[in-house]
Amino acid sequence: MLRPETIGCYIALAQYKIMLIRSLLLPALCAPWLITPAAHADIYVHGNANATGEIRLSNFPADTGYQLLIGESLPDVAVSPTVTAQSVSANNLPFDDAVRAAAIETSLEPALLHAVIAAESHHDTHARSPRGAQGLMQLMPATARRFQVSNPYDPAQNIRAGARYLRELRDLYKGDMSLALAAYNAGPEAVYRYGGHVPPFDETRRYVPKVMQLYRKLAVRKM
């Protein structure tokens, strides 16, 4: 029998995947010739991992080992070591107009977005990580596509998409900003894999407190 805390992790990951699928399919489903009556998608989880240790999720349970998980209606970056609260002051913040526009749209604080940008790229619009993350908020190509970013090095597009993704993660983890930031850095699957906790990766363990420290410093300055 699955433990309640384990089921909670499954639910969070499954909800994220449902949200991801919706965002990818919505443009096509909005076409007039594709409109259909509302459908329902139940998500089931198998009570035991398979031989490789992978968790099995399905919307069509193949045997009695599956349990109903959800009844539903139908990004590995390096932290700049030079970023400090002193180097990012409220009086010296580039791209502030784009940040404030994205903050209004997503109901996130400008200070939080500036802190993420500082930690991700040190406000370098042309930043690119060895793994392919791009721009100010270090969007992975798949994330950029999902949020319809045509140019990930365009500050306004990059900040808007990064803010929308961060808000999505904040909602997924019910306002727990440490988990949202950990997922932004290492991916929601990593948070799920470690039982709904910040993954024990050195980079992520440095990233989360660095962003939170910058965020608090900037917020105190009443941006």
Catalytically active residues are 120
**Closest to 115 (Cα-Cα) out of 190, 184, 218, 44:** 218
**Closest to 7 (Cα-Cα) out of 197, 196, 199:** 196
CB contact set of 177 (below 8 Å; sequence gap of 6+) = 112, 170, 212
CB contact set of 128 (below 8 Å; sequence gap of 6+) = 134
- Residues 186, 79: contact at Cβ < 8 Å? no
